[in-house]
Amino acid sequence: MTLRPGELLGRGIAVFPLLKTIQPIRLGSFTFRSTDDTSEMSDEDSAHVREIAEMLYLQDDLRIRSAAYALLPTLDLDKADPSLQELERLQAIVAYCYSAPHPTSGDPFLHFEHASLAIFSPEPVSIFLVRPDHHVVAASPSSALTSDQWDRVSGYQGRYNFRHPFWVTKGSRLYPPVPQIGLNISQDLAQDLGECIQSLKHHLLPELILQPMTETAQRVLTALNWYNRANSLASDDDGAIIDLAVGFEALLRLPKDAKKARFVDAISLLLGRVARLDLWAEQFYTARSDVAHEGRTDRLRFMPAEQRNSVDGPLYHSLLAYGRQIFQLCTGALLFGAHLGESAGLRDRLITNQERFQLICKTFDDDSLNVVDRFVAVYEPVALAMKFQYVRETGLLIETLVGALQRAAKNLLLCTDSLEPALKERLESLAGAQPSRDSYQALAALESLIGLKITEPGDPRSPKAITRCLAEIVWHYTFMHYYWLGRQRNRSQQSE
């Protein structure tokens, strides 16, 4: 919807229509409360929450008594927004937690549709979208709507499960995505999510909301989305087999070739050599292949080991029921292993300082960033270069070291006018040093800079502090080479 001059969007509101909560719960950047709780907010936001709560219906004329909601910043639902991306990750985790399989039957506690999420953005909407008049009959009298000169009324533009757009106004009704879906009596978002996240198996799930850009987090979130599809009421067993298999493939990063063999090995590696676990994995992947290549399968139940080659042998539990539990166990094991590697700083240890200095050069040359943001971006690589400067490294090039420092000096001169005259002079000398095979002129300027006694910056993340730290690292690597170059030059001059 295009806003007219002077019109402003209100704060967005996210609602789990089919999930209730008794106490507030913090999930990522958002706090979810019951729609009965509109305290500590503006009158405008409170009115929007009450209005939306009255739109939530289960079926027929049965309105849902309360739901869980969170206030959002102002949104443009037609554009990519960080808040929407975080909400999408959050919904995946909520649906995943509520799909915990029953310890005996293996059926999910709740299906994906129970974790449906509706997002409302208060803004004018077309009256023709909220009150269509073609081939419909009003079953009951509805309040009259007065539109403006552009045929708009006050209302909400929305997204249901991030896929389906909708438009509503006061008095509209929003129903679940599937008919005859029940509300669980014991369900309580604050208590249920709290218990799930506190468990050993799922205690690392909140990190997927706060750290979405790590490779492992992105992979796990992709796998969770496919797992949630397998628990959809709209999916039959054949479809669920495919969805769950894709979830396993994304989670375990199975290669395109020899997926079945690698699947069996990966499951056993994460969960141990449990008796008959490999047999389940083989049968599950055989069923997956049947559906993928033939469109259906008759092998949806587990066959004991002694009957593995018999089509007519006794059948036991559902392969899907086992699959849900095994998927959640593998997810917990993978997240815990990634957490151990992250805590130990393993990723940083496998990167050389040469690579870090190349990244620093590239960042300082990035014209899409302003100068201050360039220093923000290089803070961590500089800190890690300082940490690992005593590790032996044969591929470190002096021209890369000097190039990174000269770029830092140039950028520091651009972003501040409050430098001491002596410091500014030496930085200009360093930044303007002519390139040469031995970088002697730049190293001489660095020696002069290192010997300067200046006021230490209070903020270690300031551009001045980062440049100073970078100079010390480069001097640590190059001072012996610089003095050797000086002696060589003296000898050449004496012999001449």
Q: Which residue has the higher pLDDT, 458 or 362?
A: 362
Q: What is the b/e burial string over 265-298, where b = at least 16 CB atoms within 10 angstroms of the residue's CB?
A: ebbeebeeeeeebbebbebbbebbbbbeeeeebe
Beta partners for 167? 157
Whole-angstrom Cα Rg for the chain: 31
Give kind and range of the element (H or E) at residue 57: strand 57-59
pLDDT tier at 45, thresholds 50, 70, 90: very high
The rounded Cα 78 to chain-centroid distance in angstroms is 20
What pLDDT is stored for residue 311 in this prediction? Answer: 59
Give yes or no for a contact between 4 and 18, defined as CB atoms under 8 angstroms apart.
Answer: no
Q: Cα separation of 63 and 174, whole Å?
A: 10
Residue with tokens 């449990």: 274
Per-residue model confidence as pLDDT tens digits over 59-111: 999 999 999 999 999 888 888 888 999 999 999 999 999 998 988 888 899 99
What is the chain's mean pLDDT, rounded?
90
The rounded Cα 373 to chain-centroid distance in angstroms is 22
What pLDDT is stored for residue 430 in this prediction? Answer: 94
Q: Cα separation of 127 and 1, whole Å?
A: 12
Q: Count the residues in the chain.
A: 496
Per-residue model confidence as pLDDT tens digits over 430-484: 999 988 888 999 999 999 999 887 767 778 899 999 999 999 999 999 999 999 9
User: Is pLDDT at 204 greater than 90 in this prediction?
Assistant: no
Q: Cα separation of 34 and 21, whole Å?
A: 5
Structure tokens belonging to residue 86: 């975080």
Structure tokens belonging to residue 16: 């789990």
pTM of the model: 0.82
Which whole number is the average pLDDT over 403-426?
91
SS3 state at 453: coil
* Domain segments of the chain as ranges: 11-133+146-181, 213-347, 351-495
Per-residue model confidence as pLDDT tens digits over 306-351: 555 555 667 788 999 999 999 999 999 998 888 888 888 888 999 9
Q: Cα separation of 229 and 112, whole Å?
A: 7
Lowest-confidence range among 208-217, 324-333, 397-406?
A: 208-217
Beta partners for 33? 69
Q: Cα separation of 140 and 158, whole Å?
A: 24
Other Cβ atoms less than 10 A from the Cβ of 384: the count is: 16
Q: Cα separation of 98 and 16, whole Å?
A: 13
What pLDDT is stored for residue 313 in this prediction? Answer: 66
Q: With pLDDT > 70 as the criterion, what percentage of the chain qualifies?
A: 95
What pLDDT is stored for residue 133 in this prediction? Answer: 85
User: Is pLDDT at 4 greater than 80 in this prediction?
Assistant: no
CA distances from 330 to 123, 254, 307 (A): 44, 14, 27
Amino acid of residue 388: F
Which whole number is the average pLDDT over 262-279?
89
The rounded Cα 31 to chain-centroid distance in angstroms is 18
